[in-house]
């Protein structure tokens, strides 16, 4: 859109006055933010309405992305950027003597997700709008997001995230679009006179699902898509018998995000949440469709529904239910429509994270849905036992071992199933979903994850963005593949120095931020070595920590090395004891290193509390090293690896997840690979001959480091150190930390050496930035659009790189 600075100033002053009856000089940052957000919203309203009208008029096929998590990050700056008025607004604010960054920082960051899965959903929303795809989000409006993390005496404590305290200016309540979701009770099936089956519900708990819509603004294209988040409320005419407890139980459904990233321990509330937003979404999609169509026959040509992991997998039986019970479509036709509409992404290979529900709980809470799942199960067995045998079908039918197995249900009820990086997609076929792959090989495919360079470079890394504009022009802002133009400057000494200077500037900024937030002074000239992701044993923050302890001991012995600052950001699931112990030890090591004058000139450790999207925007631009060190075969893809690469950080990585694609993109010389491969680890499993103790006994450095966990050298960690020590030595180190220790140290030593040659380092950074464009989520959603959702015509420029799993 077009907006001059002067126009903006007038409209902004006007808005602030209307809102607060005061001149802007008297307003707080929060108030200025509210005024600016509302003004921005007013700019979005028309294109939002227009986009919707156009989709309806042109009968555009629409994608509905169902996800129990969305992590959009702050929206003000990104909306201004995408509208094309960020520069004018900033200039206007400055002219008013206001600080744009201060105002942007007043926005709460909606933590409606745990980590990668939720962030991916939001990146896809931004990308779909930006490539002009009709993509809608469907999720939950959690009143409280992921807990706020604080450290008390080095221990993680979890505080409530009251993110809506000041309201959420980006949402609009659409009570006229509310639907009813039914739980519990029992179902009566009665043939009606017209020959249809009538389904009569008795004694159900009814919940009103009220949608709140959030605009998803496309980049410079006038497109505004919709993210619909559902809130649970008591039914309007609840009647006199409705108790306060009942009301309370309903409110609970959308009160808090399930914060557990470690396993999916069955919790009824979680099951309620899953059905709640899934049913609400399906009902509202069908209702909208039926406003302009008098039968469901063409539904699958207009609608694609994607389920982000299995949390919304009930979309499959729920769509069957609506088609059969409400729309009177027969089973076969309903199944044909459902299969054509549904597709599913798997995000994990960890068997403990594959969702299952006890049949008792499931059938009690969702009796009609359970009947339909039983019928899906019955027909699946009938169809495939003859060819594949009872034993195999028993293993993979939707119902088995007294459980509803959601990944199997999702695979059976979708026409496409994808993993999120090539290795992950291969392992799905080989292990986790192997039997189902035998039956439905054509359904399996890979779609490597993506990120949005708009947030990570254009907004998060302004110094780099400006340098790029100067050197290669601004085309990369529209098409990130244009970053490849950087290769032309690989020998441009001046430019390489500029690149380093940009990084140095970002590091100074982060140093300031660290000082402000945790009151720790860090040396901006150190190597900034970053590991930012959820805390999980398989991600191996512990390996990183052991590396730090080794450095500590080496420095104590008198070794000199370039100063390294280790930066961690990671939340642990509240119930994940081991992860929390690792946090405690890290904090203790940070203190130990910091208070030792012999060591602190060479080594520093900072664990920043409450890592999230907004903090990532500050850390990533300043990173020199990106630690992506999961046990090979465990990390489905990773996405911080892509973000950090796009900021020119060098990746220190195992051959896992999308690290492999990053390596293929930048070449072996521009990434630091170490550790066991997935094949080697599979070999250990098969032979059963991994003995972590052998590594401990063989390697004196490892020996010394592990002993530190139990010999009292690290103050204040007696039980935590012992537990970790035991996990590694007595319980045989499930994640092969000890096996990879030596090669991890060697890789780190190479990085230390390389850092002594700034120009060579800059060349490698350049290649990483230049090749990061391929990981733009814009391309990812286009591949989904072409190959899964069928919303984009096949085009010749498709490189087809992700079609094969
Ligand atoms: C992550 N999963 C994967 N799950 O671990 C990561 O490799 C991948 O890059 C990312 O998805 C996107 O594909 C993930 O974030 C969760 O947070 C679940 C949320 C619900 C509870 C169980 C974990």
> What is the whole-number distance in angstroms between the Cα of residue 117 and the centre of ligand 1?
4
- Ligand 1 within 6 A of 259 CB? no
Type and span of the H or E element at 411: helix 406-412
- In the chain, CATH 3.40.50.2000 covers 5-446, 500-770
Catalytic residue among 40, 639, 651, 654: 639
Reported pTM: 0.97
CB 672 within 8 A of CB 750: yes
> What is the whole-number distance in angstroms between the Cα of residue 295 and the centre of ligand 1?
38
DSSP code per residue over 11-50 = HHHHHHHHHHSS-GGG--HHHHHHHHHHHHHHHHHHHHHH
Q: Is the dihedral of CA 613, 614, 617, 620 positive or negative?
A: negative
Q: Which atom of ligand 1 is found nearest the CA of 263?
A: 22
Type and span of the H or E element at 276: helix 268-292
> What is the whole-number distance in angstroms between the Cα of residue 570 and the centre of ligand 1?
14
Q: Which residues contact 324 (CB under 8 A, 6 or more apart)?
A: 197, 330, 331, 334, 372
Q: Which residues contact 357 (CB under 8 A, 6 or more apart)?
A: 266, 271, 403, 404, 406
* Residue-wise pLDDT tens digits, 31-63: 999 999 999 999 999 999 999 999 999 999 999
Q: Which atom of ligand 1 is found nearest the CA of 658?
A: 9
Annotation says 539 is catalytic: yes
Structure tokens at 178: 């509310």
190 three-class SS: strand
Beta bridge partners of 563: none
CA 479 – CA 481 distance, rounded (Å):
5
The CATH superfamily holding the domain 500-770 is Glycogen Phosphorylase B; (3.40.50.2000)
Q: Is the dihedral of CA 778, 782, 788, 791 positive or negative?
A: positive
- Ligand 1 within 6 A of 321 CB? no
Q: Looking up tokens 């009814």, which residue turns up?
A: 206
Catalytic residue among 41, 477, 534, 566: 534
Is 799's pLDDT higher than 70? Answer: no
CB 100 within 8 A of CB 40: no
Out of 164-178, 200-214, 241-255, 592-606, pick the least confident: 241-255
pLDDT of 266: 47
* Residue-wise pLDDT tens digits, 103-139: 999 999 999 999 999 999 999 999 999 999 999 999 9
Closest of 366, 454, 433 to residue 185, by C-alpha: 366
Q: What is the rounded average pLDDT for all residues in the chain?
A: 96
Per-residue pLDDT band at 262 (split at 50, 70, 90): low
- Across 433-460, average pLDDT: 98
- Across 381-399, average pLDDT: 98
Burial label for 442, CB within 10 Å (0-12, 13-18, 19+), is exposed
Pocket test for ligand 1, best of 116, 121, 448, 640 (most atoms within 8 A of CB): 116
- Ligand 1 within 6 A of 673 CB? no
* Residue-wise pLDDT tens digits, 60-101: 999 999 999 999 999 999 999 999 999 999 999 999 999 999
* Residue-wise pLDDT tens digits, 185-197: 999 999 888 878 8
* Residue-wise pLDDT tens digits, 480-525: 999 999 999 999 999 999 999 999 999 999 999 999 999 999 999 9
Annotation says 534 is catalytic: yes
- Across 195-209, average pLDDT: 92
CA 801 – CA 61 distance, rounded (Å):
25
Percent of the chain with pLDDT over 70: 98
Catalytic residue among 272, 415, 454, 539: 539
Annotation says 639 is catalytic: yes
Annotation says 634 is catalytic: no
Count how many Cα atoms sit within 13 Å of the Cα of residue 652 in the half-sphere of its side chain: 28
CATH number of 5-446: 3.40.50.2000
């Amino acid at each position: 859109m077009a907006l001059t600075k002067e126009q903006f100033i007038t409209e902004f002053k006007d808005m602030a006055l209307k809102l607060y009856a005061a001149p802007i000089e008297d307003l707080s940052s929060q108030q200025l933010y509210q005024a600016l957000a509302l003004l921005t919203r007013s700019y979005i309203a028309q294109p939002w309405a227009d986009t919707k009208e156009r989709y309806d008029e042109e009968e555009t096929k629409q994608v509905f992305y169902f996800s129990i998590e969305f992590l959009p990050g702050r929206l003000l700056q990104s909306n201004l950027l995408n509208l094309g008025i960020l520069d004018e607004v900033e200039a206007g604010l400055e002219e008013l003597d206001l600080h744009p960054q201060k105002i942007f920082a007043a926005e709460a960051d909606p933590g409606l997700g745990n980590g990668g899965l939720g962030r991916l959903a939001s990146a896809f929303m931004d990308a779909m709008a930006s490539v002009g795809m009709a993509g809608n989000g469907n999720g939950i409006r959690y009143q409280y997001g992921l807990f706020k993390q604080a450290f008390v005496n080095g221990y993680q404590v979890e505080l409530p995230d009251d993110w809506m305290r000041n309201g959420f200016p980006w949402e609009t309540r659409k009570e006229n679009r509310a639907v009813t979701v039914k739980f519990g009770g029992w179902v009566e099936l009665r043939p009606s006179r017209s020959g249809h089956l009538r389904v009569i519900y008795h004694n159900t708990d009814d919940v009103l699902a009220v949608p709140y819509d959030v605009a998803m603004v496309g980049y410079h294209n006038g497109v505004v898509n919709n993210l619909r988040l559902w809130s649970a409320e008591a039914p309007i005419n609840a009647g006199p018998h409705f108790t306060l407890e009942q009301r309370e139980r309903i409110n609970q459904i959308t009160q808090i995000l399930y914060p557990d990233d470690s396993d999916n321990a069955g919790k009824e509330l979680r099951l309620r949440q899953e059905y709640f937003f899934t049913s609400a979404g399906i009902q509202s999609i069908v209702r909208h469709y039926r406003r302009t169509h008098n039968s469901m026959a063409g539904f699958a040509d207009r609608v694609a529904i994607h389920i982000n992991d299995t949390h919304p997998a009930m979309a499959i039986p729920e769509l069957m239910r609506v088609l059969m019970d409400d729309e009177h479509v027969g089973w076969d036709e309903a199944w044909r429509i459902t299969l054509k509409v549904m597709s599913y992404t798997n995000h994990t290979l960890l068997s403990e994270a594959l969702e299952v529900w006890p049949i008792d709980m499931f059938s009690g809470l969702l009796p009609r849905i359970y009947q339909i799942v039983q019928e899906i199960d019955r027909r699946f067995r009938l169809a495939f036992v003859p060819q594949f045998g009872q034993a195999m079908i028993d293993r993979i039918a939707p119902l088995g071992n007294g459980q509803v197995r959601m990944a199997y249900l999702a695979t059976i009820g979708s026409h496409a199933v994808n993993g999120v990086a090539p290795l992950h997609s291969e392992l799905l076929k080989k292990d986790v979903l192997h039997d189902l792959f035998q039956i439905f090989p054509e359904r399996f495919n890979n779609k490597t994850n993506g990120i949005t360079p708009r947030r990570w470079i254009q907004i998060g890394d302004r110094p780099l963005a400006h340098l790029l504009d100067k050197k290669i022009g601004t085309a990369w802002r529209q098409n990130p593949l244009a970053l490849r133009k950087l290769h032309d400057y690989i020998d441009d000494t001046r430019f390489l120095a500029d690149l380093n200077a940009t990084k140095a500037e970002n590091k100074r900024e982060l140093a300031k931020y660290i000082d402000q937030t945790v009151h720790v002074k860090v040396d901006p000239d150190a190597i900034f070595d970053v590991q930012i992701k959820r805390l999980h044993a398989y991600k191996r923050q512990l390996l990183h920590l052991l590396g730090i302890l080794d450095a500590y001991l080496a420095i104590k012995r008198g070794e000199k090395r370039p100063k390294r600052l280790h930066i961690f950001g990671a939340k642990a699931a509240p119930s994940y004891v081991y992860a929390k112990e690792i946090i405690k030890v890290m904090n203790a090591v940070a203190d130990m290193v910091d208070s030792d004058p012999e060591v602190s000139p060479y080594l520093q450790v900072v664990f920043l509390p409450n890592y999230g999207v907004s903090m990532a925007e500050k850390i990533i631009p300043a990173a020199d090293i990106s630690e992506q060190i999961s046990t090979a075969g465990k990390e489905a893809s990773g996405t911080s690896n892509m973000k950090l690469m796009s900021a020119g950080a060098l990746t220190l990585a195992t051959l896992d997840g999308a690290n492999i694609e990053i390596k293929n993109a930048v070449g072996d010389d521009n990434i630091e690979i170490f550790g066991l491969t997935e094949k080697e680890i599979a070999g250990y499993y098969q032979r059963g001959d991994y003995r972590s103790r052998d590594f401990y006994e063989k390697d004196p450095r490892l020996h010394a480091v592990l002993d530190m966990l139990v010999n009292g050298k690290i103050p204040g960690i007696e039980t935590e150190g012992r537990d970790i020590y035991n996990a590694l030595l007595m319980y045989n180190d499930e994640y092969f930390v000890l096996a990879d220790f030596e090669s991890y140290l060697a890789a780190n030593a190479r990085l230390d050496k390389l850092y002594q040659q700034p120009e060579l380092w800059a060349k490698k950074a350049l290649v990483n930035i230049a090749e990061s464009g391929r990981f733009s989520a814009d391309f990812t959603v286009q591949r989904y659009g072409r190959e899964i959702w069928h919303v984009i015509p096949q085009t010749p420029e498709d490189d087809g790189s992700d079609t094969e799993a």
